[in-house]
Chain A
Amino acid sequence: MGKKELKVAFLLALRSLQRGSRSSVLLTIIIVAMCFTNMVFLPGLFNGIGEGIITQVVDYEVGNVLVSPKTGEQYVTDLDATLDLINSMPGVERATPHLSKGATLKYRQRMLGVSVKAIKPGDEKYVSPLYSKMVAGSYLGEDDTGEVIIGKPVAGDATIKQEDEFQPSLGGVRVGDSITIEYANGYTKDYRVKGIYYAGWSSTDNNVIITWSDMEQVEGKTLDYAEFITVKAKPGYEEKFIKDELQQYGISEYVQTTGDLLKKVMGSVMQSFAIINLVSLVVGIIITTVVLFIVITIKTINSRKQIGILRAIGVDKEVIMHTYGLQVVIMAVLGIFFGVILTAILAVYLAAHPIVTPEWKAYLFLTPMDYLVNSLILFLASVVAGYVPAWQVSREDIQTAMRA
């Protein structure tokens, strides 16, 4: 097929779209755009949930690398030496210890069982962005004693009755209020609430955080041990590099990267997401293919006589096939284009207003490759859907077509 034939096919296709039923063309383009959105939205959202969870796990749980006790041991011991060693390694931004104790909070008539976590606020700032998540009051200072910061769900809301609460809380603690913490070892102390934070990550938001010095008072001794150490890598350093380095430098504790941990925790979840994504993709492709197939089949059936006439005046069947095929190509390209714009708008909107649940928050995570791959898949499906009926009708006998 030469350039002239292709030009004529394109002219006939373009004019048919321009001067034919505009509502049908518009509807088809919208359907393709919706199918594209359907194909990328759910996978994008799942990727967003996954990315959100990874980010939050890194930010609030383990940093880039987690150093936890050896098998059979309760704590990472010889803490100061271990921290000094880790902090001196190339690629390590900062290592910081964590120690949690079960406790009961008391505030007015309310009692609440929580986990009280001790941190070193100065080091913690390098590892976790929690300091920037204060919704009231301020973050802990390195030498603070007798002060705590608490998660927003723990503080609660004074305007909500206890029986209407989603989860138990202290019923509306404000900054400056005093709360009593009764530890499992019997130690009891009143603390001033210095700040209230909200990270959007359930296990962090349900904590009460005190300084390392305060925890030493609870334990009644200098703490040279921790439950675990979180390590933040400097920009440009990979988690695996840090892990290998820690092991080479003689850290005998159990060292895991975020990736190692997520593989264990999120592996099956990600597999389920992948299956749902695949189903969503296949359904989207089938819908688009069927819709375009029907649209072009109806169009060719309605144009059979005209197709017969065109063949009679010397228009080759290849040109006729491309006339209808190109109509689908044009509609598919426009549909995909609008689908890309629509999903991009949704992505921007969800980035500004993520879907928030008590456990996690999600946004639309789509890479240029996601757009490209889905566009190509939909485009190919559209071409098949358009060219099959176009090919069939172009092969029809002239007499039969003209009598239609």
Chain B
Amino acid sequence: MRRAELLMAIAMAIFSAYLMWMSAKLPIGWVPGRGPGGGSFPFWLSFAMLICTVWIIVRWFRRTTPQSRSSEPFFDSRSLTLVLLVIGALVTMVGSIYFIGVYGALPLFFVFYMRFLGRHSWAKTMTLALAAPVITFFFFEILLHITLPKGATETLFYPLYDIFM
């Protein structure tokens, strides 16, 4: 926990500096006839962010906050595995949308999550895995007219559009 606190503060300090650098591409001071420059607002706020991170780091050295005194691990290994697994599954799902579309990615995600993480019965898993895309299709595409990305499965939907739209 103690190390995580410092690492996060340093990461955020670097990020603030990066934001300042990016903001400074536009004028950060007063532009005659045009008022405060386009970069001024983000620049000075990023600067304030940097000051806050420095403040956090100073407190870390002085061990004034609970986090900087804590000797507990930031993650225990069991929850770390679990969290990483879930994040990995999410990234895979979103990535696969480009290829197999939302309607391909959703069932796979449900199968993975319910069957392999939740250990639910196949019957339950498949019911949800199949119901989810159907409900999504009718709710989003037909009712709300929001087209979701379909990747390679695009042409499969033409007949559905012909029927329902």
Q: Do A and B bind each other?
A: no
The interface of chain A, by Cβ under 8 A from chain B, is none
